[in-house]
């Protein structure tokens, strides 16, 4: 049976903090997200593996079991409640360290045989615990225009829920459930349409209440958190909720004044250029920037003047510039 090292998958050490685990997950999830790697099956498989590792290491209880039992962490409750956890293992740490137990090949079959033989003799029955469902983080990539207007996404989420065959106990008549293999948990693919509100930034966490992992023993479901990445834009630069953009202004308009068109995420806007406007001057269009997330109002749009010099001048036009130069 192939063993997975969740710490190695996320590229972190065993004593890494929850915050560092979350940061590592977000970085890897963005890199291998299917939206960023369309039609790349290896990236999709890596993305699922990253999510699986994060699901365990982001949960304190699951992480503690994983640190102790390694890739057999899902059987921790059976080991502990039967009181036989040490016998089948090799190299167990008795000092309370984080090295945990290690299985040798072939141990798993004999383990369950001995473990649940004793449980049947004692009439052991496990009852489901009441526990709130796990919160889930899922990366979402959006364009600047989608962040400006808000958008929808259809997600395919792999969520954990109590095994319906054993009621989340992991046992059927005191033997391991064949469906969940004694873990009490099964996974299923969940399709969910979610709304991404206008104004999200790179790194925003959008909470979708009650759409995370299903609760145990009648407890409430966890929440889904969308971790947003906003793609860089070719024209607009964002600072907070303000946007900046370069605007080409003909020399004659810069000198004499006039009107130019300024691009914005919602379309072109008219901007009045005052006479003798210098190259690089910034005009502030109040309230034409990004929406404030969860609030009314918007940031500003900063239009930077880029004076465009005329080219392919006729002899008459060149003469006029000579006269202007001599007059100055």
> How far is CA 173 from its chain centroid?
41
Q: Which two tokens stand for residue 260?
A: 């130019």
Query: Residue 55: which residues within 8 A CB-CB, separation 6 or more?
Result: 62, 134, 136, 160
Interatomic CA distance for residues 291 and 242, integer angstroms = 9
Pair 96, 145: CB distance under 8 Å: no
Q: What is the pLDDT of residue 296?
A: 92
Average pLDDT score over residue span 265-269: 95
Pair 281, 260: CB distance under 8 Å: no
Lowest mean pLDDT among 44-48, 130-134, 144-148, 248-252: 130-134
Average pLDDT score over residue span 158-183: 76
Give the pLDDT band of residue 162 (cuts 50, 70, 90).
confident
Beta strands in 163-268 (DSSP E): 171-172, 175-176, 185-196, 205-208, 224-230, 237-239, 242-250, 258-262
pLDDT at 249 over 90: yes
- Start-to-end CA distance of the chain, whole Å, equals 86
pLDDT at 93 over 90: no
Interatomic CA distance for residues 132 and 221, integer angstroms = 6
How long, in residues, is the chain?
A: 328
Give the pLDDT band of residue 132 (cuts 50, 70, 90).
confident
Average model confidence (pLDDT) for the chain?
A: 82
The DSSP output letter for 46 is H
pLDDT at 152 over 70: yes
Give the pLDDT band of residue 104 (cuts 50, 70, 90).
very low
Q: Which two tokens stand for residue 11?
A: 């590229």
Average pLDDT score over residue span 70-86: 65
Q: Which domains does the chain carry? A: 128-231 (2.60.260.20), 237-327 (2.60.260.20)
pLDDT per residue as tens digits for the range 21-59 = 988 888 898 888 877 888 888 888 888 888 888 888 988
């Amino acid at each position: 049976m192939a063993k997975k090292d969740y710490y190695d998958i996320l590229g972190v050490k065993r004593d890494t903090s929850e915050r560092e685990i979350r940061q590592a997950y977000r970085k890897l999830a963005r890199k291998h997200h299917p939206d960023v790697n369309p039609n790349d099956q290896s990236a999709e498989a890596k993305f699922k593996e990253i999510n699986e590792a994060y699901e365990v290491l982001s949960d304190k209880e699951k992480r503690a079991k994983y640190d102790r039992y390694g890739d057999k962490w899902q059987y921790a409750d059976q080991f502990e409640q039967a009181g036989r956890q040490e016998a089948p293992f090799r190299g167990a740490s008795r000092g309370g360290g984080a090295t945990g137990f290690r299985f040798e090949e072939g141990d798993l079959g004999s383990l369950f045989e001995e473990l649940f033989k004793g449980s049947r003799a004692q009439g052991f029955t496990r009852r489901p615990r009441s526990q709130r469902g796990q919160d889930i983080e899922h990366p979402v990539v959006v364009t600047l225009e989608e962040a400006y207007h808000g958008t929808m996404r259809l997600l395919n989420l792999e969520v954990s829920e109590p095994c319906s065959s054993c009621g989340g106990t992991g046992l059927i008549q005191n033997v391991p459930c064949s469906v969940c293999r004694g873990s009490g948990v099964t996974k299923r693919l969940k399709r969910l349409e979610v709304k991404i509100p206008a104004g999200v930034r790179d790194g925003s966490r959008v909470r979708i209440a009650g759409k995370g992992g299903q609760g145990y023993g009648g407890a409430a479901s966890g929440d889904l958190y969308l971790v947003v990445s906003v793609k860089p834009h070719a024209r607009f630069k964002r600072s907070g909720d303000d946007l900046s953009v370069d605007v080409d202004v003909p020399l004659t308009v810069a000198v004499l004044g006039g009107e130019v068109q300024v691009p914005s995420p919602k379309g072109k806007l008219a901007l009045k250029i005052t006479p003798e406007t210098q190259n690089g001057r910034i005009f502030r269009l109040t309230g034409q920037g990004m929406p404030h997330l969860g609030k009314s109002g918007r940031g500003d749009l900063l239009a930077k003047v880029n004076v465009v010099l005329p080219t392919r001048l006729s002899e008459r036009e060149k003469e006029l510039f000579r006269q202007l130069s001599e007059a100055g």
